[in-house]
């Protein structure tokens, strides 16, 4: 019995030691304060490595040769704007459907926002007023913004050799490509925003696509340790945690405008304000290194897992329309 007890103690010690030692390899590219040139080099290095982990290098290098070939499927008059369903090429072998809106009561070119839904949502979810999205895409479309949305909530990989998070991000990048192809869009005023999974994908799109000038990430600012439990692990892929944490991905957005939204009524297992504040402190470092701290903001609102619509509209109006 004594021998078994000793063996058990040794086993538990080894497991604990291995777990502790394993944490030493996590987040090897964590951002720390440095000169402006060094900060820019860090961003480019991390962005390059993340594109590789996401298995997007091939598509990225071939993007200019992947024709969009847009096809309009239908059009609806929504009063203040026209809503169109459009199909484009995402990859050489896969087409995706987009929802695109155009203002009716003014002349362009207009600012544009990629509007991103959450888990279980669909491309039109961001236009629904009676939801936790608060119809933010409809509100933007009614205020002379071009809006665009696509499906990102799939949990199956469409093409062999791809990665789920890579395909989600790539479809959003192609949304930006399509916006840039439109004469109605001001290419210097493109933003993105979303809630939950949409907040996560807004983080990724703003971080990885420098054409995004303003990023709103709602209901997602947290740490990877927290979402390892009681959450869908579709965010996680090989090599990610060894390289960065969420704060480092958000740091790739600097010095461009970033607002995160977290509600005081978020359940404890979700995206709570105290953890959001901890992550924000880490993101603040690079904005100070860029001498642009005013471009980073955490909106703590009284709601739960939802969009703070007034603050969202104020953010995009200030960053893209004024």
Which pLDDT tens digit goes with each residue over 221-230?
Answer: 999 999 998 8
The terminus-to-terminus CA distance of the chain in angstroms comes to 76
Q: Is the pLDDT of residue 262 over 80?
A: yes
Q: How confident is the model at residue 269 (pLDDT cuts 50, 70, 90)?
A: confident
Task: Tell me the per-residue pLDDT of 70-114, one tens digit each, with 9 for 90 and over.
Answer: 999 999 999 999 999 999 999 999 999 999 999 998 888 999 999
pLDDT digit string, tens, across residues 144-187: 999 999 999 999 999 999 999 999 999 999 999 999 999 999 99
3-state helix, strand, coil in the chain (%, to 5): 45, 20, 35
Provide CB contacts within 8 A for 58, sequence distance 6+: none
pLDDT in tens, 118-135: 998 888 999 999 999 999
Q: pLDDT band at 304, cuts 50/70/90? A: very high
Cβ contacts of 302 within 8 Å, gap of 6 or more: 263, 264, 265
Average pLDDT of every residue of the chain:
92
pLDDT at 227: 93
Is the backbone of residue 239 left (phi > 0), alpha (psi -120 to 50) or beta?
left
Residue ranges covered by each domain of the chain? 33-321
Q: Alpha helices of the chain — where are they, by DSSP H?
A: 2-23, 36-53, 57-62, 136-141, 164-181, 197-208, 224-227, 240-243, 246-251, 273-289, 309-316
HSE-CB of 183 using CA atoms within 13 angstroms: 1
Question: How many angstroms separate the CA atoms of 37 and 64, rounded?
Answer: 29
pLDDT digits (tens, 9 = 90+) for 236-252: 999 999 999 999 999 99
CATH number of 33-321: 3.40.50.1820
Length reported for the chain: 322
What pLDDT, on the 0 to 100 scale, is given for residue 106? 85
Averaged pLDDT for residues 270-278:
96
Say how far apart CA 320 and CA 186 lie, in whole Å: 10
């Amino acid at each position: 019995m004594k021998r078994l007890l000793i063996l058990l103690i040794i086993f538990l010690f080894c497991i604990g030691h291995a777990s502790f030692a394993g944490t030493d390899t996590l987040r090897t590219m964590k951002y720390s304060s440095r000169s402006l040139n060094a900060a820019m080099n860090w961003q480019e290095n991390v962005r390059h490595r993340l594109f590789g982990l996401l298995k997007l290098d091939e598509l990225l290098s071939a993007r200019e040769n992947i024709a969009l070939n847009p096809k309009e499927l239908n059009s609806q008059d929504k009063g203040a704007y026209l809503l169109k369903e459009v199909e484009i090429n995402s990859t050489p072998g896969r087409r995706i459907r987009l929802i695109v809106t155009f203002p009716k009561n003014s002349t362009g070119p207009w600012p544009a926002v990629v509007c991103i839904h959450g888990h279980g949502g669909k491309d039109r979810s961001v236009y629904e007023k009676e939801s936790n999205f608060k119809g933010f895409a409809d509100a933007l479309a009614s205020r002379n913004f071009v809006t665009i949305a696509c499906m990102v909530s799939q949990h199956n990989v469409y093409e062999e050799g791809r990665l789920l998070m890579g395909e989600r991000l790539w479809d959003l990048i192609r949304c930006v490509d399509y916006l840039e192809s439109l004469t109605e869009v001001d290419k210097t005023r493109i933003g993105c925003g979303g809630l939950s999974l949409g907040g996560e994908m807004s983080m990724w799109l703003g971080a990885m696509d420098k054409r995004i000038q303003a990023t709103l990430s709602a209901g997602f600012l947290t740490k990877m340790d927290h979402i390892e439990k009681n959450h869908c692990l579709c965010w996680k892929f090989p090599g990610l945690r060894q390289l960065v944490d969420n704060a480092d991905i958000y740091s790739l957005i600097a010095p461009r405008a970033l607002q995160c939204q977290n509600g005081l009524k978020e359940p404890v297992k979700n995206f709570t304000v105290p953890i959001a504040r901890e992550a924000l402190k880490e993101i603040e470092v690079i904005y100070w290194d860029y001498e642009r701290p005013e471009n980073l903001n955490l909106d703590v609102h009284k709601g739960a897992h939802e969009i703070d619509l007034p603050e969202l509209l104020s953010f995009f109006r200030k960053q893209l329309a004024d």
